[in-house]
């Protein structure tokens, strides 16, 4: 057996054994009933949910100060965010339960976000700073019944920060860090992140305005081991503006409006092949996102009606130096998306409610590249999806969530998906859960209409079955859950030598996800998870078979906090283009282990907090993606100010 696997298993067993050997703290803690929204679109007790939904609260986000959104998500069981340890400008890959980018749906405040000009329709998480996030819910498994196309392996629901109850409140933050590879140990300021927000509530109006700015340098995307390349540092710059205004017209009727502008500029390296010549300071990427919308909500005696709407426009531009022709080429992409989701919850009895809704989406794209142009009046489609979800929660422990959705697509006709999700609470400490759900992914506009497009493509279809349990002991101080899953996908969308195609046959993925949390006493808390994922060869790229995270929190006092984090990522398969043979070569990436630490101190109570963190403390060299750099040991210092 691999020595690193043995080391990981031994460390996991040692920490767990030590924790379980601790004496039970006689001080009882007040348990706050946690609520989730992702499996019904309305708040309900987590105990009544038939899913193991991972919720990352604001308190937990503060324990990860200085980390990016991608890095935080990468610590969740079953989730692999490739690129989170690379240079900031590198594209991210979302791999959940052995799936790919196009099978993961991102929501912001409950509204789907996407880039309709992207190859896989996926949203770019690099656009969103973690400082604007209030909480995150991750619901794994097929969820097309509630959320439509793309929700095949996971829904990541990101909730942005809300207004304070005070008439006016301001927050500001600043942090500075190094940005090194393992072979470059210059611990000077190369990664800057700063911002502020102004928010509050005045009578019937609440408001929030925030600004974030980030600037990074000091790393090349291409690894220094690539032959025949001249290396330059690849700069990453991001600026974000966010506004929210809410109006409480009556006790039952509210209106919420939002607007966002996000701009990212970064140097990039075209891609890796074994011949080199891919790193140049001429390659420049620019992305602009404009997003706005409104969400009226109306509560009545037995229910609630919500209308979520948004308009999203993304513009991307690439200046790319062609090493074959020695010409600087320019490519531009633009997409527009309109999403309207109207849904109503009606509570028939204390034990049964029904959610009925309809979702409308419109997407178009345009592009200008050296290989041809695409006009948005010709490249577009729309969808209209009626759906329902019924939720039954009995007094004797049985919970049942069932639903169905009919996707009416302008290009592909009708797609019916459904879910059945029973669970049973044996008592207040033991819950057994299971589900069977189906999902679909329609081809993207790029896969249909680009120079590599194929109008004969058909939607990819998925079905997932899962089962598991969630148990707790010692007044919920110790909790443990485990879920096993099995997924089949048909008509997978792939790429041959010249265009996108549907892959014949079925591909399968299966695995187990476990999580343990133990509140040792009021000062010490342990959280650990382990993921086993096995996929067919056709899916097996950048997906670790084994992955583990262990995190230990220590509150030395009401003001002083420490965190120690360990992560093990198993070997993964990758592939690269061989420029000498013009073929694709598979390669195996070694496993790696990371140790990170954080210390926070509240210098002025409820006003000023300072923190410092260290990542990859042992300065391990590893490969996250073939041919690309990864971060070595780095340090970050920061402060947060509330006034």
CATH number of the domain within which 60 lies: 2.40.170.20
Answer yes or no: is 342 within a domain. Answer: yes
H or E element at residue 16: helix 3-20
User: Are 617 and 75 contacting, i.e. CB atoms less than 8 angstroms apart?
Assistant: no
Radius of gyration from C-alpha coordinates of the chain: 24
Tell me the per-residue pLDDT of 215-261, one tens digit each, with 9 for 90 and over.
Answer: 999 898 888 766 555 678 889 999 999 999 999 999 999 999 999 99
Sort residue 243 into left (φ over 0), alpha (ψ -120 to 50) or beta: beta
Residue 563 belongs to some domain of the structure: no
pLDDT at 226: 63
282 close to 232: Cβ distance less than 8 angstroms: no
Instruction: Tell me which of 52 and 358 has the higher pLDDT.
Output: 358
Phi/psi at 23 (nearest 5 deg)?
A: -70, 145
For residue 2, is pLDDT > 80? no
pLDDT tens per residue across span 440-487: 999 999 999 888 889 999 999 999 999 999 999 988 899 999 999 999
Residues paired with 154 in a beta bridge: 104, 140
- Model confidence over 117-153: pLDDT tens digits? 888 888 888 888 899 999 999 999 999 999 998 899 9
Residue 111 in contact with residue 256, Cβ under 8 Å?
no
pLDDT exceeding 90 applies to what percent of the chain?
A: 67
Q: Is 162 part of any domain?
A: yes
Q: Looking at the 3D structure of the chain, how many domains does it have?
A: 1
- Phi, psi angle pair for 9, to nearest 5°: -65, -40
Residue 130 DSSP label? G
Q: How far is residue 524 from each of residues 25, 67, 77, 557, measured CA to CA in Å?
A: 11, 22, 21, 11
Grade residue 25 by pLDDT with cuts at 50, 70 and 90: very low
pLDDT tens by residue, 612-629: 999 999 999 999 998 889
User: Could you tell me if 6 and 546 are in contact, meaning their C-beta atoms sit under 8 angstroms apart?
Assistant: no
Q: Which domain holds residue 405?
A: 3-170+191-544
| Residue 322 pLDDT exceeds 80 | no
d(CA 49, CA 342): 22
- Tell me the pLDDT tens digit for each residue of 401-446: 999 999 999 988 888 999 999 999 998 899 999 999 999 999 999 9
To 5 degrees, how large is the angle CA 394–CA 354–CA 399? Answer: 25
For 575-608, give one letter per residue: b (16+ CB within 10 A) or e: ebeeeeeeeeeeeebebbbbbbebbbebeeeeee
Establish if 553 belongs to a structural domain. Answer: no
Give which of 587, 570, 582 is closest to 627, Cα–Cα.
587
Task: Say if residue 21's pLDDT is above 70.
Answer: no
Name residues whose C-beta falls within 8 Å of residue 417's C-beta, 6 or more positions apart in sequence: 142, 144, 145, 404, 405, 407, 437, 438, 439, 440
Nearest to 546 by CA among 4, 61, 157: 4
Q: Measured between alpha carbons, how far apart are the two ends of the chain, in Å?
A: 55
- pLDDT tier at 271 (50, 70, 90 boundaries)? low
Which SS3 state, helix, strand or coil, does residue 101 take?
helix
* Within-domain flag for 29: yes
Residue 289 falls within a domain, yes or no?
A: yes
What is the pLDDT, as a whole number, of residue 372? 83
Task: Locate the DSSP E strands across 348-429.
Answer: 352-369, 372-374, 380-393, 398-409, 413-427
Quote the CA–CA distance of 204 and 245 in Å, as a whole number. 11
């Amino acid at each position: 057996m691999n020595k690193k696997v043995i080391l990981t298993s031994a460390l996991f067993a040692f920490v767990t054994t030590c924790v379980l050997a601790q004496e039970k703290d006689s001080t009882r803690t007040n348990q706050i009933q946690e609520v989730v929204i992702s499996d019904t679109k309305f708040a309900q007790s987590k105990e009544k949910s038939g899913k193991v939904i991972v919720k990352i609260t604001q308190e937990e986000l503060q324990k990860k100060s200085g980390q990016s959104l991608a890095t935080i998500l990468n610590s969740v069981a079953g989730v692999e965010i490739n690129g989170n340890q690379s240079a900031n400008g590198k594209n991210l890959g979302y791999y959940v339960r052995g799936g790919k980018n196009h099978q993961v749906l991102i929501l912001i405040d409950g509204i789907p976000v996407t880039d309709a000009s992207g190859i896989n329709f996926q949203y770019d998480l690099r656009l969103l700073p973690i400082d604007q996030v209030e909480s995150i819910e991750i619901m794994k498994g097929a969820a097309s019944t509630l959320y439509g196309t793309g929700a095949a392996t996971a829904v990541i629901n990101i909730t942005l920060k809300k207004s304070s109850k005070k008439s006016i409140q301001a927050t500001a933050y600043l942090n500075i860090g190094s940005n090194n590879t393992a072979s470059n140990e210059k611990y000077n300021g190369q990664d800057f992140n700063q911002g502020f927000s102004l928010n509050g509530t005045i009578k019937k109006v609440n408001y929030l305005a925030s600004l974030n700015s980030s600037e990074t340098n000091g790393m090349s995307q291409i690894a220094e081991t690539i032959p025949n390349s001249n290396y330059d540092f690849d700069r990453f710059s991001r600026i974000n503006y966010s506004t929210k205004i809410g109006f409480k017209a009556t006790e039952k009727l509210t209106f919420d409006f939002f607007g966002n502008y996000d701009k990212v500029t970064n140097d990039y390296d075209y891609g890796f092949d074994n011949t080199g010549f891919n790193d140049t300071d001429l390659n420049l990427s620019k992305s602009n996102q404009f997003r706005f919308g409104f969400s009226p909500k109306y509560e009545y005696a037995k229910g609630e009606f919500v209308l979520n709407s948004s308009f999203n426009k993304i513009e991307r531009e690439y200046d790319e130096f062609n090493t074959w022709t020695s010409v600087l080429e320019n490519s531009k992409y633009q997409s527009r998306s309109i999403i309207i989701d109207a849904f109503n919850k009606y509570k028939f009895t204390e034990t049964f409610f029904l959610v009925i809704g309809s979702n409308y989406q419109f997407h178009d794209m345009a592009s200008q590249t050296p290989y041809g142009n695409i006009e948005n009046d010709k490249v577009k489609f729309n969808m209209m999806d009626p759906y329902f979800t019924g939720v039954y929660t009995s007094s004797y422990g049985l919970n049942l969530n069932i639903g169905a959705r009919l996707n009416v697509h302008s290009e592909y006709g009708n797609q019916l998906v459904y879910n059945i999700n029973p669970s049973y609470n044996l008592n207040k400490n033991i819950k057994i859960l299971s589900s069977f759900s189906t999902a679909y992914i329609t081809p993207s506009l790029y896969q249909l209409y680009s120079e590599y497009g194929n109008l004969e493509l058909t939607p990819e279809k998925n079905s997932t079955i899962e089962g598991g349990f969630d148990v707790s002991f010692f007044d919920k101080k110790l909790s443990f859950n485990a879920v096993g899953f099995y997924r089949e996908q048909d008509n997978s969308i792939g790429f041959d030598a010249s265009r996108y195609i549907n892959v014949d046959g079925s591909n399968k993925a299966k695995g187990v996800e476990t999580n343990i949390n133990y509140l040792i006493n009021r000062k010490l808390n342990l959280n650990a998870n382990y993921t086993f994922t096995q996929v067919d060869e056709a899916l097996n790229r950048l997906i670790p078979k084994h992955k583990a995270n262990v995190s230990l929190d220590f509150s030395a006092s009401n003001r002083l906090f420490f965190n120690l984090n360990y992560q093990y990522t198993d070997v993964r398969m990758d592939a690269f283009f061989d420029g000498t043979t013009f073929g694709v070569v598979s390669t195996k990436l070694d496993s790696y282990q990371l140790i990170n630490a954080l210390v926070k101190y509240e210098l002025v109570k409820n006003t000023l907090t300072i923190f410092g963190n260290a990542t990859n403390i042992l300065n391990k060299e590893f490969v996250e993606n073939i041919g690309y750099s990864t971060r070595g040991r780095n340090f970050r210092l920061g402060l947060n100010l509330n006034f």
